[in-house]
Structure 1
Amino acid sequence: MLAWSIAAAQYAPRDGSIAENIAHHLRFIDAAAHLDCKVLIFPELSLTGPNDKQELPSPLSDAQLQPLTDAARRHQMTIIAGLPVEENGQRRKGVAIFAPDALKPYTCLQGNGTCLTPESHYISVFNLNNDGCDLAPQASLLATLTSTVESQQSLNTQRLQWFARKHAIAVLKSNYSCDYFSGGSALWDETGQLIVRADQGELLVTGRKSAQGWQGDIIPLR
């Protein structure tokens, strides 16, 4: 079995320009690279901050996202960040997936999470629909981007634990750490057992999979 190191950024957005938020993403990326992480996820809408307005901001251009594309290639790391996307003339929550071998990010609707597997670098966006579950059979990790307030944490945790058990897949969750959000970034293994969970603060929740199973840690951002 391949050893696999992953991380979730528990992140406080910057109240400034997109460039400031991208620079803050790069701090997390550098910290994860020092830990040899091959996957790093951020909360939903991480590049613009959680949405407290009626309309989402404008989608970002590939040129604006270029520093993250370069970082993914430089560190050979898959990076998943949240941003607005446009579909049928409407702005909606989306994800940008920066793959190590890609010249630009893949952007799409956020869905219920992003499925990954280390052996084949397989990536897909997972959705629940009326026909049931479209979870890819080769996926070994579901990465979910959230903006969960404290009052929703318990229900969110129960849902993710159930999902891990039902589909025998590890689940990694990133969340915000700021005024209205209480942290709670976490990793569950394929049985739904909690491996590591963070409280308040800007930090990395890390997990390493080996033949002995998952081990987790919390690394404060410095």
Structure 2
Amino acid sequence: MSRWNIAAAQYAAQHHHVEEHVEHHLRFIIEAARQQCDLLVFPELSLTGPATAYLPAPPDDRQLAPLLAAAREHRITLIAGITIDRQGQRYKGLTLFSPKREAILRYPQGSGASLIPGDKQLTMIDPHSDEPDLDPQATLFTSSQAVGDNSWRQSIGMLQRFAHKYAIAVLMANARSGSALWDEKGQLIVRADKGELLLTGSLSRRGWQGDIIPLG
């Protein structure tokens, strides 16, 4: 692949109406497609809304079908935040919509996911492991978050060190502010301020370049 275009959607989900979140995600997808993006990553719990006393119920395939259709139509891979139920417990999770797959894949959120351009699945990173199980061919590590200022400062420090230590680009999609992209040397390429926007990154033979596109 001579060029790889990726994006993080900075979107703070404020309620628990899945259908409305899906419609909002479609706005980001259309803009990302306009920017010729191959991958779009959303923040934590972007499709369910925030955790209150309990984590919201997981959305079903019927509710998420418009996103799978959009992934196919625009030939864009999507990673969005959901909840999942496993063995009687509810967890934060990620869902993958691939233009090359007919099924919607669901994963526990872990500490993030690594992926290879054009691949049809994610490699989830165990947050409790000292050595992450990174695929040697992986080009990008993604982190879906919804953190405030104090936790955000910790997160960006950790992600920058991760990029440098494992020589992999890192894309962080945060809900309210501070979404960012680092290259494989740990150098910051682009970081967003507050607001609803699309943070984009483009990888070519000259390395990574980034941009910020407001939505609204």
Q: When the two structures are superposed, what TM-score results if normalisation uses the length of structure 2?
A: 0.95
Does the Cα contact within 8 Å between 2:10 and 2:197 map onto a contact in 1? yes
* Percentage identity across paired residues of the two chains: 49
Partner of 2:141: 142
| 1:160 has 2:159 as partner | yes
Partner of 2:28: 28
Q: How many residues align structurally?
A: 216
* Alpha-carbon distance between aligned partners in 2 of 1:199 and 1:120, rounded to the nearest angstrom: 31
Does the Cα contact within 8 Å between 1:14 and 1:20 map onto a contact in 2? no
1:197-212 pair list within 5 angstroms: 197-212=191-206
Aligned-pair CA distance for 1:117? 1.5
Does the Cα contact within 8 Å between 1:6 and 1:37 map onto a contact in 2? yes
Indicate the structure with greater strand content. 1
Partner of 1:80: 79
| 1:215 has 2:214 as partner | no
1:49-198 pair list within 5 angstroms: 49-51=49-51, 53-118=52-117, 120=119, 123-130=122-129, 132-177=131-176, 183-198=177-192
Aligned-pair CA distance for 1:58? 1.3
Structure 2 gaps of 5+ residues are none
* Alpha-carbon distance between aligned partners in 2 of 1:130 and 1:196, rounded to the nearest angstrom: 28
* Alpha-carbon distance between aligned partners in 2 of 1:130 and 1:14, rounded to the nearest angstrom: 32
Aligned-pair CA distance for 1:62? 0.6
Partner of 1:180: none
Structure 2 counterpart SS, 1:67? helix
Letter in structure 2 aligned against 1:137: P
* Alpha-carbon distance between aligned partners in 1 of 2:103 and 2:161, rounded to the nearest angstrom: 35
Q: When the two structures are superposed, what TM-score results if normalisation uses the length of structure 1?
A: 0.93
Structure 1 gaps of 5+ residues are 178-182
* Alpha-carbon distance between aligned partners in 1 of 2:16 and 2:55, rounded to the nearest angstrom: 15
